[in-house]
Structure 1
Amino acid sequence: MKLAFTLLSLYALLKVCLCFHEIPHMLVLGIAKRELMKNDMEIYNITAKYFDTFSSSGIDSIPTTSYEENAVWSDDIKSYGDAQKAMGMWHFIGNLDSNPYNLTLYKDPMADSENALNAYANIVKTLTNKNFVGKITEFKVSMLKMLVHLVGDIHMPHHTGTYYNKTFEKEKGKGIYSGDKGGNKQNILYYPQTGKKQKTNIHFYFDSSCFFYTWTSRLVRPLNQSFTNYFEIELERIMTQYPKESLNINYTQTFDDWAEESWNIALTEIYPFLMQKNVIRYQDAFYNSSFNMIQQRIVIAGYRLAYTLQNIFAAEKGKIDLTTPLSYEKQQKTIIVYNNQMPLSNSISTEYHSDKAMAVIFGVLFGLTLVSYIAFMIYFRMTYSAMKSQNRISSEYLNTKNGTMQKIPSTEQNNEHKA
């Protein structure tokens, strides 16, 4: 019984676990997938085979039911904490900074070596190592999953630098400044369509694509069919709204160029606004421009990722066995384009509320069970103590009684002796 309720409580926790940033990363890989399937099917099949090799176990993370879910693995493994600190620092760059006041800065000593730029360069070397061409190894799979995630991260403005001013002092009165940590310390107030004020920071604002991907469009992984359908609709929507031909993508640029491009956006479009105010309202001028910018960055990242994968895996063509079917291979569906920011379909919304209701029910049951268990233990302890006390009193009474009975004949004997 105890095990059953433990499992139920774990299920409830898993069902309500949210990940706000998974959709933009999955969109980047989804765009790359469509581009590869259109222009280089063999490269798509090779990368799909890499991802599928460990898809059932997820390599110490959530199992995958789709190609695109592999883009979130690098965030999933953050649950290891300090044990993977170096890989945790691969998600951003700590040496593209703005220090307009010429302050004395504090930086993590690992930042110059463990950052997105160095990580990307080393990952590419790993995936193109001549000794392992045509060999799918667990390490290469892990590095591929990391690469597709980093391409998404580096197109987010606040993954590419830190802004320094006297607000962000490391220790009060010390005169050393740690900066806004990629916008994580730049607090803002956001007013969505509902008008209900939300406190957040500018880093999260852009990572969630200006709060476009939050509660109502969250994805619970591994994806079921309803969430897969929603994702495919959103993928079609963003690719149609920002067609490849309108983006003027320069494919000669490097990963370092992409990072510089993102940081320039932060310096020219975001920080000037933040230096004047920290309030953003849905569909105000800043919201509209920043939403358009970040949505374009997602699409640009997807096309650049497809081009990158073509270059990296070109040497593996004809050397990977592609005859066995993929475990999560799905038939392509015809998707109908819908208006911007379409809410979840009724089926997905119903399933979402159903999952939430189930989580609440299991949570309540677990809570009642825990309270009952605690009450029972208290009652048992009190009863046991009372019984123990009663036994002690009874024992003492019997001992006293026996002792008295033994003294009577002894007294009589003494009287007889005296007589």
Structure 2
Amino acid sequence: MKLGLVLISVLALSQVCLCFHEVPHMLVLAIAKKELMKNDMEVYNITAKYLDTYSTQGVDTVSTTTYEENAVWADDIKVYGDAQKAMEMWHYIGNKDSNPQNLTPLKKDPMADSENALNAYNNIVKVLTNEKFVGQMTEFKVNMLKMLVHIVGDIHMPHHTGSFYNATYKNDKGEFWGDLGGNRQMINFYTSTGEMKKTNIHFYFDSSCFFYTWTNRLVRPLNETFKIYFQRELDRIVAQYPKESLNIDNTKTFSDWADESWNLALNNVYPFLLSKNEIHYGDDFYNSSFDMIQKRIVTAGYRLAYTLQKLFTPEKGLIKANTPLSYQQPIANNNNNSINNQKDNTNQTLASTYESSDNQSNKAMAIVFGVLFGLTFVAFIFSIIYFKKTVSPSTYQRTSNDLIEAKNINVQKLASTENNL
């Protein structure tokens, strides 16, 4: 059975683009879904309506069959390469750096302070809570929702928050450019069978310590076999890390979540890497890091549920099963105060006045044009009668033949020119 799943996964890689760690992202959204269905079914239905509508009507790289698969969309669109560069840096915060040796000069991305997961999150929240679009399900809002559910998962991973600088990571210009969020920190991981896998510490944690790897890839859109596997994995991780045991504080912000992740990297990961680069399945570091990252996945799921509930509560009663994907202009705020109502009434009165004035002007214009048209028509009739009396039939016929001959000559020239192209 396991061999069959492996073969299915390998074959699927030639047909669809998958990221290295789709399972943790899907688990984060699945936990949020489970929590919403328990505490706020209407908000869940609203978010499901957004995601389902986009899957059937919008442009997607990998079709989805489940709510949870939408969590991987932000990685799926990387197949577009340069076309999606604007969102490439939304997956991490690259400015929480550690430089214990005070190395200089440091090579940093000049966009890191403006184009990062934190600013992306804040802007996405503004899009989803824009009062002008409350009750409208636009394609842009759907895109931003898909980005949101992804980067909430990303920012709970230790190496999506900064870089570690030491003398090892140096370019040809003498600049120290850090480990790029652990992507340059190579390790040797020994599996339960003793097989050595060479990888980097970023992937080690993003794959939940190699717990989700090539050997248990999910082929998307999910078939029934993988739906069963995923449901069992969801049940396991939620039962193993109950919400009550995680001490989740909903007053913490996205920036606080990022700080938590970076502190885990600084205090638990980098001290270990300074002494060795080998991790063995079942050793102390493996057990502690696996427990840490599994808790981060579950924590991210509950935090995502709380975030979605806050963002979409204003759309309760407005987004329904039959709400279409909208391309309309912003709608008026239903909660206008009395001053705005007075302004609206004044505007309506002015509009009525202008409309009445416009109608009178239009009537006058119509009469003028009618008279002019009548005079023009009469003049046209008299000119025809005069033309017939003053021009002989032979001359008229000769003129017509000349025009026909000239036209035929031009047609032949055009044909000859086209043949020479």
TM-score bracket, normalised by the shorter chain, equals: 0.7 to 0.9
Deviations 1:251-305 (A, max 9, x none): 1000000000100000000000000000000010000000000000000000000
1:215 is displaced (CA, Å) by: 2.5
Tell me the TM-score normalised to structure 1 length. 0.73
1:19 is displaced (CA, Å) by: 3.5
1:58 is displaced (CA, Å) by: 5.8
Deviations 1:376-417 (A, max 9, x none): xxxxxxxxxxxxxxxxxxxxxxxxxxxxxxxxxxxxxxxxxx
Q: How many residues align?
A: 313
Deviations 1:3-62 (A, max 9, x none): xxxxxxxx8654586543100000000000000000000000000000011213563311
2:161 maps to what in 1?
A: 160
Tell me the TM-score normalised to structure 2 length. 0.72
Superposition pairs of residues 256-295 of structure 1, within 5 angstroms? 256-295=255-294
Deviations 1:215-273 (A, max 9, x none): 23210001111111110110000000000000000110000000001000000000000
> Structure 2: which 5+ runs fail to align?
1-10, 325-421
Instruction: Give the distance between the partners of 2:50 and 2:281, measured in 1 at CA.
Output: 41
Moved beyond 2 Å, runs of 4+: 11-20, 56-60, 322-325
2:300 maps to what in 1?
A: 301
The verdict on how the C-alpha distance between 1:191 and 1:58 changes in structure 2, with shifts beyond 3 A counting, is farther
2:348 maps to what in 1?
A: none
| Corresponding residue SS for 1:219 | coil
Instruction: Give the distance between the partners of 1:170 and 1:150, measured in 2 at CA.
Output: 30
| Corresponding residue SS for 1:179 | coil
Cα contact 1:168–1:177 (8 A) shared by 2: yes
1:109 is displaced (CA, Å) by: 1.4
Cα contact 2:17–2:62 (8 A) shared by 1: no
1:66 maps to what in 2?
A: 66
Q: Percent identity between the aligned chains?
A: 72
Cα contact 2:17–2:79 (8 A) shared by 1: no
Superposition pairs of residues 101-250 of structure 1, within 5 angstroms? 101-103=101-103, 104-171=105-172, 174-250=173-249
2:100 maps to what in 1?
A: 100
> Structure 1: which 5+ runs fail to align?
1-10, 326-419
Indicate yes or no: 2:22 matched with 1:22. Answer: yes
Cα contact 1:120–1:147 (8 A) shared by 2: yes
Cα contact 1:15–1:220 (8 A) shared by 2: no
Q: Which has the larger radius of gyration?
A: 2
Instruction: Give the distance between the partners of 2:59 and 2:284, measured in 1 at CA.
Output: 43
What do you get for the CA RMSD once the two structures are aligned? 1.6
Deviations 1:170-192 (A, max 9, x none): 22xx3311100000000000000
Superposition pairs of residues 76-95 of structure 1, within 5 angstroms? 76-95=76-95
The verdict on how the C-alpha distance between 1:319 and 1:18 changes in structure 2, with shifts beyond 3 A counting, is closer
2:254 maps to what in 1?
A: 255
- Identify which range, 108-117 or 139-148, moves more after superposition: 108-117
1:167 is displaced (CA, Å) by: 0.5
The verdict on how the C-alpha distance between 1:222 and 1:57 changes in structure 2, with shifts beyond 3 A counting, is farther
Instruction: Give the distance between the partners of 1:21 and 1:245, measured in 2 at CA.
Output: 26
